[in-house]
Structure 1
Amino acid sequence: WVEYGIQTVYDEVLENINRGHDFANIKEWILKTKKRNLLVCGHMIFGLPGEDQNMMLHSVEESLKLGIDSIKFHPLYVVKNTILTKDFIEGKFIPISEELYIDTLIKSIKMLPPNVSISRVTAGISDDSLLAPIWCNNKHKQMYNIKQALLKQRLIY
């Protein structure tokens, strides 16, 4: 397995978060990896600055077109002592809500072809470095809420 932090397909967002690459780079790297018959997992982050739900879903859709074999979903955290901390404290960045995260996750899962596995549906952080979103400090509760949303949609994960 080779894992790539795709995060988003929007170059302006990648530049804003200082990723150091654009989507064309990711696309090139994934296609080269696939040519070597290696399995690829793509990481997606929901809640990046400047993104709305349509953009997040479009990023998943475009990532799937690259032929990824597995996908990991993750909410964006604001942790202490980062550039994002300042924007959060000044009210320039509002973290994704749990409701929007779960709704975007469910819509993304519905897009997945049967041959693409899900390696992660969320992640949690349980130390005191987390500033936001607060709902990310309890992964068990996150997983319960995601499971309930999946059941409501009759989806099995």
Structure 2
Amino acid sequence: MGLDSFVNTFGAICKHKYGERLRKLTIDAKFTCPNRDGSLGKGGCTFCNVASFSHEHGSEKSIAVQLSEGRERLKGKSSKYFAYFQAYTSTYDEYQVLKAKYDEAIEDPDIVGLFVGTRPDCVPDEVIELLASYQRRGLEVWLELGLQTANETTLKRINRGHGFAEYQDTVLRARAAGLKVCTHMILGLPGEAHADYLSTLKQVLDVGVDGLKIHPLHIVAGSTLAKSWQAGRVSLISKEDYAASVGELIRHTPKEVIFHRVTAYAKKPVLLAPDWCGFRWDGLVAIVDDLKLHGGQGHYVDLNCCFESVSAVANQ
């Protein structure tokens, strides 16, 4: 049995809705980030590869060309695709610039949806309305928000540049407009442990959310965390601990919430550590094994009771 047997996955949702598992075509539209251009700071988040900040980023190819090349690489994998604005902060530009880029993507006849990754503090009302207008036209639209953690101390420690309040405000405005929100969480951030992950999940669920992406912290070359890790100041989450924590988060999540991802991997030489993040399937297999043993999504019916137990232990 695979992940779909235990978790409400986006892949399974697609198969039911479209008759197949649709693939995402990633787009680098040359966006930047307020945490790298000086608006908030120039160091970026501590887990980001800041080495790339010193030169021009982004593809020189048009969005149409990127979609065409991506479709060619995935030839035969699916008949329709989602356009995924993934690189940097994909709502951080003037309205007309954003609209032109999104419009170029959805002009492709094979594109049936739009995924836009961004920061919680970079989503003004006019952008929410723009994305909602695409959804009203029948497109599958998801706003992906990189929260990472609800712990204010950790957010400052990783130089995130926003707090939980900005996340809450954006989620409430987006969902009020009818947009679906997918929240990103990172497990293993410095200073955090299992109780912190559960606390973040509880706060996210309390605000309201439609989807979740969970990632393990991994060290990439060029990041601020890479220097700390090389100096022996950062310990990393093991595959076993990660799988156990993800399993618990899944069990605490109501069945209607859609999991878009439960792990992630990176390739060397960009990936420095941990080694297990360099293998695509290792983390996923460990998570499925945990779910087989302890139960799948929504296993804990009385969520508040479970969270209160965790909070009590954490505060001892």
What amino acid maps onto 2:208 in structure 1? G
Q: Deviations over 1:19-59 (max 9, x none)?
A: 11111111111111111111111111000111111011110
Q: Distance in 2 between matches of 1:154 and 1:42?
A: 23
After TM superposition, the runs of 4+ consecutive aligned structure 1 residues lying more than 3 A away are none
Gaps of 5+ in 2: 1-141, 298-316
Deviation at 1:143, TM superposition (A): 1.7
Q: Which residue of 2 aligns with 1:64?
A: 205
**Corresponding residue to 2:252 among 111, 114, 120:** 111
**Corresponding residue to 1:144 among 285, 295, 299:** 285
Q: Distance in 2 between matches of 1:109 and 1:155?
A: 7
Q: Distance in 1 between matches of 2:255 and 2:282?
A: 27
- Indicate the percent of aligned positions where both proteins have the same amino acid: 36
**Corresponding residue to 1:51 among 192, 203, 221:** 192
TM-score (normalised: structure 2): 0.48
Q: Which residue of 2 aligns with 1:74?
A: 215
Q: Distance in 1 between matches of 2:224 and 2:269?
A: 17
Q: How many residues align?
A: 156
Deviation at 1:152, TM superposition (A): 1.6
TM-score (normalised: structure 1): 0.95
Q: Distance in 1 between matches of 2:260 and 2:192?
A: 23
Q: Distance in 1 between matches of 2:287 and 2:243?
A: 6
SS of residue paired to 2:160: coil
8 Å contact from structure 2 (residues 265, 280) kept in 1? yes
1:4 aligns to 2:145 (yes or no): yes
SS of residue paired to 1:104: helix
SS of residue paired to 2:256: coil
Q: Which residue of 2 aligns with 1:98?
A: 239
By relative contact order (CA 8 Å, sep 6+), the higher-ranking structure is 1
Deviation at 1:17, TM superposition (A): 0.8
1:38 aligns to 2:207 (yes or no): no
SS of residue paired to 1:99: helix
Gaps of 5+ in 1: none
